[in-house]
Structure 1
Amino acid sequence: MRRGIILALGLMLTFSLFSQTKKVVMIVAPSDFRDEELFVTKEVLESKGIEVKVASLEITSIRGMLGKEVVPDLKLADVNVDDFDGIIFVGGIGAKFYWRHPSALKIAQEAFKKKKVIAAICIAPVILANAQILKGKKATVWRSEAGRIKEKGAIYVETSLVRDGNIITASGPQAAEEFGEKIAEALLE
């Protein structure tokens, strides 16, 4: 009897350790995020069983560059890095808003220190560069912003997607699906 209880508890513990859902937050600009970079990436992650939350400045409907809308789940100010396995910065012209935003930079720095998966697409890798976490790291970005990440010490690679350790960068909307796949792969390792 005792042996059966111990075995059952052991199996329950093992199951709970392996069934923990990974969780990410996708940070989007208050306007003009790139639709595919949010929605395609989110769809890929959710198809892999990863829980996705969306954060922005306010919890009000925001519109992407192509017209699709989203209502964030939480405010940027309420993002607690400890609640997530990964932090994702979505691009689009609106992402410039976060390039020097104190909360965005702090989230990126804290996630880096805690060895979380950190990802950024399109022009959003500039946020990571300004947070000083791309120094000596290989990264990509929307081509027009390559100089900005190189200025901060990144090793720019002209390609659609780069993974350097826990940091994943992609160059734009054409890479959204691959971006989601690579993030899922990193989270599920």
Structure 2
Amino acid sequence: MMAGDVAMLPLESEFVDTSTLATPTSDWSMNPIGDLEFAGGGEAFEVELTASGNIESEDLIFSASIVPSLAQELDSQYDLTESDDYHTNCLGQNNRWIRSDSAGWFYLTPEGEFFRWRGSFDRSLHLGSFDTSYYDNPDLLTDPESPDVDVVVEGDILRIMPSAEFTGSFQIEVGATDGVQRGPTDLVLVTVTEPIDDFKTPPADEDDPVEDETPPPVLMVIANQDFYYQEYADTRASLEAAGLEVVVAATTTETATPHANSGQGDGSGHVTPDLALSDANADDYSAIVFVGGWGAASYQYAFEGTYSNGSYNSTEELKSTVNDLINDFVDQDKYVSAICHGVSVLAWARVDGVSPISGKTVSAWANTSPGSDTAFHTTRQEIEYNGGSMVQSGSIGDPTTATDDVIVDGRIITAENYDSAAMFGQVLGDAINDPAYIDEVFAEWE
């Protein structure tokens, strides 16, 4: 490192990696929040802050602040200068060049890699990675904008208040102190999405089909313990790309933990459900989705065995709540869908005494299911026992891959596994947005 370089750099990405809390040095610790995502429009978003250990949350003083982005850190450190054309392709390689009066020259590659020039490309110092929008508009580096968001803590409530026009991502650092010792902090990635207008039915005297209306949200059900992260994330991303809002429900609103190595990458993959299943009402949603992972077994209404993993054994009350919810979606002729082991929830449901997939063709994970004291050792066995017909893996579309293994059979939509999740969300989103579906189902709702 040459004289004048600062040891805090290079940073690796636009945001510092979101991580779980460090090992506490006292007999209490703040509970991690997990990443947050909510629709903008000017409404405040609130999160309750809690702690574990030998202390009550009300005895702590919580604090929160917005963490500067990598672009802000770099501009603050080097005072990067705006330019009309950023000297594109100077010295070849199609890079864009940025000047600093105090630190010389920097360059940004078409792929978004940012370097400090050291006299040659081989000796240049890598300072960070950005998406290609920064290459298209280097002003994002030379004049980075702070998020138009207020973050305050009142007691144990974290309140995030974006302006009505703001959308985007930023990080906040949340900490706590008992008045003597400050505990470890939590870095939280916050994403504010475009606001979604509430669905409105047409006036009673209109005979034309509903057009250009946004259907109600999709209800996505995950398990509080051992849901499959990629099946959740890829499905949700496709639904949101189709313009649909997604509301996440689980047994409780406590942080949901995915299977290890289920697509969450280096992050925890923790998800904070929007509501408990007991508070969900089919009237409020356009479809229901059951995400896979062994934890989905806790929602199997008619399953009478006991699982070896105690977290998969739930109460009769919870099973009845889920079954009643499925019945309500079926009664309203709305899409009932599931992916991977989530299809077993539909298999063990009962509508008028039979499984909603009885007589239906479905796709699902064909192999093992969580260990129990029953004769059911695969998801296929559970599906076929309950009257469903399950296709072979890869048999839909391209036989060399499961990415397109999605089946629509009436109002039942199923998919094989995480490989199929992106297509699953796309197919479901297209089905919900179909004007015929909107006209048949949504226009009847008050």
Contact 2:242 2:430 in 1 (8 A): no
Contact 1:99 1:124 in 2 (8 A): no
Q: CA deviation at 1:59?
A: 1.1
**Partner of 2:235 in structure 1?**
41
How far, CA to CA, are the matches of 1:39 and 1:64 in structure 2?
11
Q: Alpha-carbon deviations, 1:27-50, whole Å to 9, x = none?
A: 001111000111111111111110
**Larger strand fraction of residues:** 2
Fraction of identical pairs, as percent: 31
Letter in 1 for 2:360: K
Letter in 2 for 1:182: V
How far, CA to CA, are the matches of 2:408 and 2:253 in structure 1?
31
CA RMSD of aligned residues (A): 2.1
**Larger helix fraction of residues:** 1
- Tell me the TM-score normalised to structure 2 length: 0.38
The question of 1:109 aligning with 2:332 is answered: no
How far, CA to CA, are the matches of 2:431 and 2:421 in structure 1?
15
Q: Alpha-carbon deviations, 1:63-104, whole Å to 9, x = none?
A: 111340111111100110010010000111111111222211
The question of 1:125 aligning with 2:343 is answered: yes
Letter in 1 for 2:361: K
How far, CA to CA, are the matches of 2:414 and 2:235 in structure 1?
13
**Partner of 2:416 in structure 1?**
171
- Tell me the TM-score normalised to structure 1 length: 0.88
Contact 1:140 1:146 in 2 (8 A): no
How far, CA to CA, are the matches of 1:155 and 1:129 in structure 2?
11
How far, CA to CA, are the matches of 1:151 and 1:124 in structure 2?
16
Q: Secondary structure at the match of 2:248?
A: strand
Alignment of 1:1-189 (within 5 A): 17-22=210-215, 23-65=217-259, 66=261, 67-100=268-301, 101-131=319-349, 132-144=355-367, 145-159=379-393, 160-189=405-434
Stretches of structure 2 lacking an aligned partner (at least 5 in a row): 1-202, 262-267, 302-318, 350-354, 368-378, 394-404, 435-446
Q: Which runs of 4+ in 1 moved over 3 A?
A: none
How far, CA to CA, are the matches of 1:20 and 1:58 in structure 2?
31
Q: Secondary structure at the match of 2:225?
A: coil
Q: CA deviation at 1:126?
A: 1.1
Q: CA deviation at 1:184?
A: 0.6
Letter in 2 for 1:137: K
Q: Secondary structure at the match of 1:143?
A: coil
**Partner of 1:7 in structure 2?**
none
How far, CA to CA, are the matches of 2:281 and 2:241 in structure 1?
24
Letter in 1 for 2:406: L
**Partner of 1:5 in structure 2?**
none
Which is greater in Rg? 2
Stretches of structure 1 lacking an aligned partner (at least 5 in a row): 1-9
Contact 1:166 1:186 in 2 (8 A): no
How far, CA to CA, are the matches of 2:421 and 2:230 in structure 1?
6
